Amino acid sequence: MDSPLKPDGIVRNSNLTYFPTNDILCLEVRDMTVTKLKAKNQLTIPSAIVKRLHLKPDELFAVDVEDNFIKLIPVKLEPRYTAEELKAIDKTVAQEKTGAKTLKPGKEFSRYIKKITK
């Protein structure tokens, strides 16, 4: 397999060409959309990509850096509690307001909620 690094110092892949010019690394973009980082660190995802990946408003992304590339990975979060468990939590909070039962957050709380919803 050919190395992307050429003897002249130019690095190429399918859409990008990196080449050193006066100690500055320049980038040539082909067949890609360029987007701008806004003042509040916001990027606009091009509509073609939104349509291609079927992205929806308020979609969540895991963000990672790999080499010098930013990866945005759409994620789906599952709710921690079912609707029935949330109703039980509300009921418990209302009942326990005066004589509160102390539970540690996490596993102890989850076990208690599952126990009272059975």
pLDDT confidence of residue 31: 66
Compare 78 and 8 and report the one with higher pLDDT: 78
Could you tell me which residues come within 8 angstroms of residue 48 by beta carbon, excluding any fewer than 6 positions away?
A: 33
Q: What is the pLDDT of residues 35-94, one digit of tens each?
A: 888 889 998 888 888 898 899 999 999 999 988 888 999 898 888 888 999 999 888 888
Question: Is the per-residue pLDDT at 1 higher than 50?
Answer: no
Compare 33 and 85 and report the one with higher pLDDT: 85
Question: Is the per-residue pLDDT at 15 higher than 50?
Answer: yes
Give the C-alpha separation, 45 to 42, whole Å. 10
Which CATH architecture group holds 35-77? Ribbon (2.10)
Taking the complete model, does pTM exceed 0.85, yes or no? no
Segments of the chain assigned to CATH 2.10.260: 35-77
End-to-end CA distance of the chain: give it in Å, rounded: 60
